[in-house]
Amino acid sequence: MDTTTVETKKFEILDTKLDSIWAEIFQKSKLIKEIQSGSIDIKMYAMYMFETYHYTLHNSRNQALTGVKCFDKPPHYLRYCFEHALEETGHELMALHDVKSLGLKDNSFSIPNPLPETEVLIGYLYHVSSTGNAVRRLGYSYWAENAYKYIMPLIEKIKGLYNLKDNQLTFFMAHSDIDDEHFKEVKEMIEKYCVTEQDWKDVEEVMETTLRLTANMLDGVYNEYQKLVSNKSNKYNFLFALDNN
């Protein structure tokens, strides 16, 4: 078996794992089911976009940090880290723009703190980016840059549901555009810098863990929404403004 075939096999292992985790998420996530059934409240969607704002704010930073803390890989890998960080910088503002475009006035709210589930994801990504195997953060990019085939139908559903224009979905549109190119790069990096079995395992572990933590974040949004509508929390009360649109 030549090298290419060996690595093709390894990517197939990642892809099979990924497929099964996504399947599990689609089966279990109540938030996703709300989208699929067309019954998702615009306030729940808005809450999800605020969490997207939060983790995205840190993604370019922890991506760059991976390069800052890496001393055992060639400059080529650092360049990838800094370039990828560069391309992700400021994308949180797209998420913020999109949620505001739903009908939130600038002075009617301040951005709520992230949910604990979101902070768990953020904290884990900083930990992964600053310690341990320097290539393992690629596991996060592997699914994140390759997620649109899974989530595009959900976005289309939301688009139709709230009658959104493209310029109200800038976060997702921007990412779907650059995705294919990024994903190719991520695969090249994995192929180049995953040398040992342990490297591949570390990438797989971070892939699985960050995807599951992201799914937990969806659950967190769903649960927080229940608190909002049952008056158990007033943190997102400003979102009731969206009901009048």
Instruction: Write down the least CB distance from residue 99 to a second copy, Å.
Output: 17
> If binding is defined by CB under 8 A, does position 74 make contact with a second copy?
yes
> If binding is defined by CB under 8 A, does position 227 make contact with a second copy?
no
Residues in contact with 120: Cβ distance below 8 Å, sequence separation at least 6, in sequence order: 213, 216
Stretch that binds a second copy, among 15-23, 25-33, 62-70, 169-177 (CB under 8 A): 62-70
Instruction: Write down the least CB distance from residue 81 to a second copy, Å.
Output: 8
- Report helix, strand or coil for 40: coil
In the complex with a second copy, the residue whose CB is nearer, 58 or 187, is 58
Helices (H), 103-196: 116-130, 138-144, 148-162, 170-193
CA pair distance 95, 99, nearest whole angstrom: 6
CA pair distance 69, 55, nearest whole angstrom: 20
> If binding is defined by CB under 8 A, does position 28 make contact with a second copy?
no
Contact (Cβ atoms closer than 8 angstroms) between residue 31 and residue 48: yes
Among 7, 34, 41, 119, binds a second copy (CB under 8 A): 119
Among 49, 67, 143, 236, binds a second copy (CB under 8 A): 67
- CB burial class (10 A; 0-12, 13-18, 19+) of residue 192? middle
> If binding is defined by CB under 8 A, does position 61 make contact with a second copy?
yes
Distances (CA, A) of 156 to 124, 127, 151: 30, 34, 9
Among 2, 4, 27, 75, binds a second copy (CB under 8 A): 75
> If binding is defined by CB under 8 A, does position 209 make contact with a second copy?
yes
Token representation of residue 72: 């055992």
Contact residues toward a second copy (CB under 8 A) are: 60-62, 64-65, 67-68, 74-76, 78-79, 82-83, 85-86, 89-90, 93, 116, 119-120, 122-128, 205, 208-209, 213
